Structure 1
Amino acid sequence: MNRDPRRRAPQLAPAKIETVATASDIIDFLAESGETVGVQKVADALNMTKSRASRHLANLESLGLIGRVPGARGYQLGWRVMRWGQIASTHLDLTKIFEGPLQDLNQQTNKTVLLCAPAGGEAIVTKCLPSNTAIRIEVKIGLVLSLPYSPSACICYAFLPREQRQSMLIHLKQREQDFRVENETHFNQRISEIQQTYYSWDKNKYNVGYGAIAAPVFNQHEGLAGTITLVLPSEELSDKPPEHLLKSLLTTAEECSRLLKSHIKFPSL
């Protein structure tokens, strides 16, 4: 079974923690599936033997990270993962804080609006407001948006401390093809432009007919709190993003940063 690269979290782990990485892959796969999953399906999706998949599933079950469904065959996310999610959501629910500005952006542009949380240089979708157009673009909550192509992930990477970017780049040059930095010079130039302009965009990496424009949101410590992203049909993106969309996006990102008490002033177009 070949999983859609847009739905897969990239593998950053070195070989010495391969077991932890495999456990993480299994949990990601169960989260993506949204239904109970049997041993064989896990084995097929992650390219491992059924016996190896069974051992990993048994270990994760004993830790409460996954669980069996009463009266059914297969596994789902366990109580411990659910507990972590509940605890995390109570710390800082940006979806509620930014609800007004995100809805205004959605209505003003009539484009799908995403709020994403930074995740070690990548981005995770935490909220999706679909457009009301005939072609309705929806993005699943919890989807990992990955480097080096996702505009949201590029924003998350660009505003990491330099030491973290340098360390992560080593892995970005080594991981699997869909998530690998092939041209370090070109990639670094793109990151430098993002740091100057405060936006990133991509037209159509996976040939799915849509692209995206993303901008950062900063917190009171001037660190990255998240990204706001517009998703739109690829034909609406030519040599650069439409200026009216970009202006609306940057205005909203700066407004949300102000709600978090940031004093960073965004560059003008």
Structure 2
Amino acid sequence: MQQKRSPERDEGLVSTTETLSAIARTMLILEALEAETTGLGVSELARRTGLSKSSVHRMASELTSLRVLERHGSVYRLGLRLFELGQKAPRHRDLREAARPYMSDLREATGHSVHLAVLDGTAVVYLEVLRSPTAPPLPTRSGVRWPAHGTGIGKAILAYSGDETVERIVANGLPRLSERTIDTPGRFHAELTRIRERGVSYDLEESRPGVVCAASPVFGHDGTVVAGLSVSGWHNRINLDQTASAVRTAALGLSRQLGSGH
């Protein structure tokens, strides 16, 4: 049962968050709406952010006038202006543009959904998703974050990341996303070693029951890992050996292109 917060604790939270800068408070609102496709009302936004209802109402109204948010009845959602700005982030825009032909070929060759993602903190952020008509109903789409340790694409990136990055993931905990999520440090480190040995990472129903994937790292011009490519599908409809070979070939091709500067 969820513990009920006391009014005094709520008041303390509000007073603390109200002292944040306008930019920090704006980010609280945007992050609260990040995964809410149906939107949130003022009361729920206030509860999740710790801001007062009056502050949320005032800021949400202003953000709506700037097209950063959209209002639908009594709820707010992330607006088109955020998408427009995100498309212009140069590093990720160039990566997406370079990856699209490889992703398209992968989807055609395998018949399954293809993902491009980068590591951000302890999560992967999906930059591009090409869905297959037979794809599982995954919550992944451009801009969505997912815990890196529980995804094939996240493990592919982490296997070639620095020790400090990996230890940050482990220190954050390895919460279970499904019954098969690798959730102990020893097993997780062993998994990253296996990925480095074969150059391919697998998600064997670790992020979601019934769904598997093969993923490979993508390297930049300086040889450091910059992203991951993955192909995912239903466990009983995908040939993981063939898929792994295809995704590794695509990731190597994309890495060569990024390394050449073209």
TM-score by length of 1: 0.70
Superposed, which structure 2 residues align to 1:223-238 within 5 Å?
223-236=224-237
Name the CA distance, whole Å, in 2 between partners of 1:28 and 1:85.
Answer: 15
Instruction: Structure 1: state its 5+ residue gaps.
Output: 3-17, 264-269
Q: Could you tell me whether the CA contact under 8 Å between 2:46 and 2:56 is conserved in 1? A: no
Q: Which amino acid aligns with 1:150?
A: T
Superposed, which structure 2 residues align to 1:98-113 within 5 Å?
98-113=99-114
Q: Could you tell me whether the CA contact under 8 Å between 2:177 and 2:208 is conserved in 1? A: no
Distance 1:197 1:205, change over 3 A: same
Counterpart of 1:255 in structure 2 is: 253
Q: Which has the larger radius of gyration?
A: 2
Counterpart of 1:57 in structure 2 is: 56
Name the CA distance, whole Å, in 2 between partners of 1:191 and 1:24.
Answer: 33
1:238-265 C-alpha deviation (Å, 9 max, x unpaired): xxx63221111111110011110169xx
Identity %: 19
1:31 aligns with 2:34: yes
Superposed, which structure 2 residues align to 1:134-145 within 5 Å?
137=137, 139-145=140-146
The structural deviation recorded for 1:184 is 1.1
Q: Could you tell me whether the CA contact under 8 Å between 1:57 and 1:66 is conserved in 2? A: no
The structural deviation recorded for 1:111 is 1.0
Name the CA distance, whole Å, in 1 between partners of 2:187 and 2:54.
Answer: 42
Q: Which amino acid aligns with 1:37?
A: L
The structural deviation recorded for 1:220 is 0.5
Counterpart of 1:40 in structure 2 is: 43
Distance 1:137 1:130, change over 3 A: farther
Name the SS of the counterpart of 2:193 in structure 1: helix
Q: Which amino acid aligns with 1:260?
A: L
Name the SS of the counterpart of 2:202 in structure 1: strand
Task: Name which of structure 1's ranges 254-263 and 61-70 shifts more when overlaid on structure 2.
Answer: 61-70
Counterpart of 1:8 in structure 2 is: none
Name the CA distance, whole Å, in 1 between partners of 2:146 and 2:155.
Answer: 9
Q: Which amino acid aligns with 1:109?
A: T
The structural deviation recorded for 1:95 is 2.3
Q: Could you tell me whether the CA contact under 8 Å between 1:116 and 1:127 is conserved in 2? A: yes
Q: Could you tell me whether the CA contact under 8 Å between 1:215 and 1:228 is conserved in 2? A: yes
Distance 1:78 1:53, change over 3 A: farther
Distance 1:84 1:68, change over 3 A: closer
Counterpart of 2:215 in structure 1 is: 214
Q: Could you tell me whether the CA contact under 8 Å between 1:137 and 1:231 is conserved in 2? A: no
Superposed, which structure 2 residues align to 1:97-136 within 5 Å?
97-133=98-134
Counterpart of 1:5 in structure 2 is: none
Task: Name which of structure 1's ranges 140-149 and 31-40 shifts more when overlaid on structure 2.
Answer: 31-40
The structural deviation recorded for 1:107 is 0.6
The structural deviation recorded for 1:127 is 1.4
Instruction: Structure 2: state its 5+ residue gaps.
Output: 3-15
Pairwise CA RMSD of aligned residues?
Answer: 3.9
Distance 1:24 1:177, change over 3 A: farther
TM-score by length of 2: 0.72
Name the CA distance, whole Å, in 2 between partners of 1:63 and 1:188.
Answer: 47
Task: Name which of structure 1's ranges 244-253 and 111-120 shifts more when overlaid on structure 2.
Answer: 111-120
